[in-house]
Amino acid sequence: MANFLGGSDRNQDATIYVGGLDDKVTESILWELFIQAGPVVTVNMPKDRITGAHQGFGFVEFMGEEDADYAMRIMNMIKLFGKPIKVNKASANEKNLDVGANLFVGNLDPEVDEKLLFDTFSAFGVILQVPKIMRDTETGSSKGYAFINFASFEASDTALEAMNGQYLCNRSITCSYAYKKDAKGERHGTAAERLLAAQNPIITGDRPHQMFAELPPPPVAVPGLMANPVMPPAPPNMGMPPGLPVPPPPMMGLPPHMSQIGMPPMMGYPPPP
C-alpha cells in the first residue's frame, strides 16, 4: 500500500528530491513512476496550506540508498506532462512548507550555540525543532545568525518583543520575523498567516519540548531499605480445624525460642515450652 506521508523519520540518504513538476502531477503518479527504479517507501509533495496545490516539487524515499542513486541516474531530466523533471539528493534541496512562527536572530556572538539559543528562547513558548545556527560548511563556525521555529505566534511575538536588542554573550542581538522562502521579500507573521495558523493549530504533544534537557538522576538505592516493602503472606492454617485461631508468625530477627516471649497463651493451645 502506498505511503504518502513525509516526516522527520525519513531516511535522508535514501530520499531524492524531484523538482520541476507540472501541476497535474500527483503523489500517486510519482509513486508509479519511481517504483520502476526500486522499492518506494514514501512519497511526499508539500502543498500550499491556503490553495491546497503542490509547490512543484516532492520527495521520494526508497528502501535503500542504492535505489535512490539509481533513480537519480535514470530519471533525471525525463519529461513528465511535457516538462523535464530534476532529480537529485533531497539533502541539498529539501524545502519545508514555509508557514510558521519563524524568527530570525542576528548579530550572534561566535560563542552562542544551539543549546544556549534553545535554553534562552524556550522560556517564551514551545520550540518545534533545534534552533538552526547558520554555519560555514568548511570550518563549522557560526555565521552570526540563526532561525528559531515556535509552535505559535503568541510565543514568537513574546520572544521578539522581549529579546530584540538584548545582550547574549556580551553582544546585542536582533530579532525579527524571518523572510519566507521564495516569497519576494515577504516575512513571516502576516495577518493571513496568523489566521491560517489559528485555523490549523500545531499539535505539540508528541514533540520534544526540552531537546537539551538531561534526564533526572535515578533514585539512589540504600542497602537494606526497600522502597515498597512486601508484607509476607499469612501462614497457612497448617491443617487445623476451621474456626481455631492461628498463632502469629515468629518475630523477625529473634531466635525461635524467644519469638513468643511475653505473648499470652493462645486459646485452645498450650503455651510454648
Instruction: Write the pLDDT tens digit of every residue in 197-233.
Output: 776 666 554 444 445 544 344 444 444 444 444 444 5
pLDDT surpassing 70 at residue 56: yes
Kind plus residue range of the DSSP H or E element containing 84: strand 83-84
Residue 196: pLDDT band with limits 50, 70, 90:
confident
DSSP string, 117-145: HHHHHGGGS-BSS--EEEE-TTT--EEEE
Task: Give the model's pLDDT for residue 271.
Answer: 54
The confidence band for 186, taking pLDDT boundaries of 50, 70 and 90, is confident
Q: In 10 A of CB 200, how many CB atoms?
A: 9
* pLDDT above 70 coverage of the chain, percent: 64
What pLDDT does residue 10 have? 72
User: Average pLDDT of 185-192?
Assistant: 83
Task: Look at residue 180 and tell me whether its pLDDT is greater than 70.
Answer: yes
Q: Which of 89, 126, 106, 100 is nearest to 181 (CA)?
A: 100
Nearest Cα neighbor of 26 from 66, 64, 63, 53 is 53
pTM: 0.43
- For residue range 127-172, list pLDDT tens digits in order: 988 899 999 988 999 999 999 999 889 999 999 999 999 999 999 9
Output the pLDDT for position 183: 62
The DSSP secondary-structure symbol of 214 reads P
Contact by Cβ (8 Å): 12, 65: no
Alpha carbon of 207 to those of 18, 157, 203, 204, 253: distances in Å?
A: 28, 21, 8, 5, 53
Beta bridge pairs of residue 15: 61
Our CA dihedral for 215, 216, 218, 220, rounded to 10 degrees, sits at 150
When pLDDT is cut at 50, 70 and 90, the band that residue 97 belongs to is very low
More confident residue, 145 or 12: 145
Residue 41 is inside which H or E element, if any?
strand 40-44
Cβ partners under 8 Å of residue 199, min gap 6: none
What is the pLDDT confidence band of residue 53, given thresholds at 50, 70 and 90?
confident
The predicted structure's pLDDT at residue 58:
86
9: pLDDT confidence band, cut at 50, 70 and 90? Answer: low
In a 13 Å sphere around the CA of 171, the CA atoms on its Cβ side amount to 14
- Closest-CA residue to 156 (of 93, 198, 103, 228): 103
Q: How confident is the model at residue 94 (pLDDT cuts 50, 70, 90)?
A: very low
pLDDT of residue 46: 82
Single out the residue of 48, 42, 46, 49 nearest to residue 14, CA to CA: 42
Grid cell of 271 as nine digits: 503455651
State the chain's mean pLDDT as an integer: 76
In order of start, what are the domains of the chain with their CATH numbers? 12-92 (3.30.70.330), 101-199 (3.30.70.330)
pLDDT of residue 33: 96
Query: pLDDT-derived band of residue 116, with 50, 70 and 90 as boundaries?
Result: very high
CB atoms within 10 A of CB 84: 12
Q: What distance in Å separates the CA atoms of residue 18 and residue 45, rounded to the nearest whole number? A: 9
